Amino acid sequence: QMTQSPSTLSASVGDRVTITCRASQNVVNWLAWYQQRPGKAPKLLIYQASILETGVPSRFSGGGSGTSFTLTISSLQPEDFATYYCQQYNSFWTFGQGTKVEVK
């Protein structure tokens, strides 16, 4: 089971934003982060906890290992207002419940 916090995050353009994902069991570093905009398919941002997918802006970064992980956006841009999901793939595949980043 993957638990994200917070469920909703209110922020402004330029803010530094951090989302946390906790796993109920050790997933090593087999963790991905996705961004989903309304009405769109998810987009892979980060895999293996900290590797940036090709084409993803460097303001996105991931960290952590074992059971605790973070996704950080260093300077929030207008296009970053979206919902973010973590996903473990150490044992089958499980998504977190999502974190919505909304305009403050």
Partner 1 sequence: QVTLRESGPALVRPRQTLTLTCTFSGFSLSTSGVYVTWVRQPPGEALEWLSLIYWDDKKYYNTSLETRLTIFKDTSRNQVVLTMTNMDPVDTATYYCARGKVGPSGAFDTWGQGTVVTVSS
Which stretches of the chain bind partner 1, using CB under 8 A?
Answer: 30, 32, 34, 36, 41-44, 47-48, 53, 85, 87, 89, 92-98
Q: How far, in Å, CA of 102 to CA of 99, rounded?
A: 9
Q: How far, in Å, CA of 44 to CA of 13, rounded?
A: 22
Q: How far, in Å, CA of 80 to CA of 32, rounded?
A: 17
Q: Which is nearer to partner 1, 48 or 68 (CB)?
A: 48
CB distance 85 to 36 below 8 Å: yes
Q: How far is the CB of 92 from partner 1 (least distance, A)?
A: 6
Q: How far is the CB of 14 from partner 1 (least distance, A)?
A: 28
Q: Which is nearer to partner 1, 15 or 70 (CB)?
A: 70
Q: How far is the CB of 44 from partner 1 (least distance, A)?
A: 5
Q: Which is nearer to partner 1, 3 or 67 (CB)?
A: 3
**43: buried, middle or exposed (CB in 10 Å: 19+, 13-18, 0-12)?**
middle
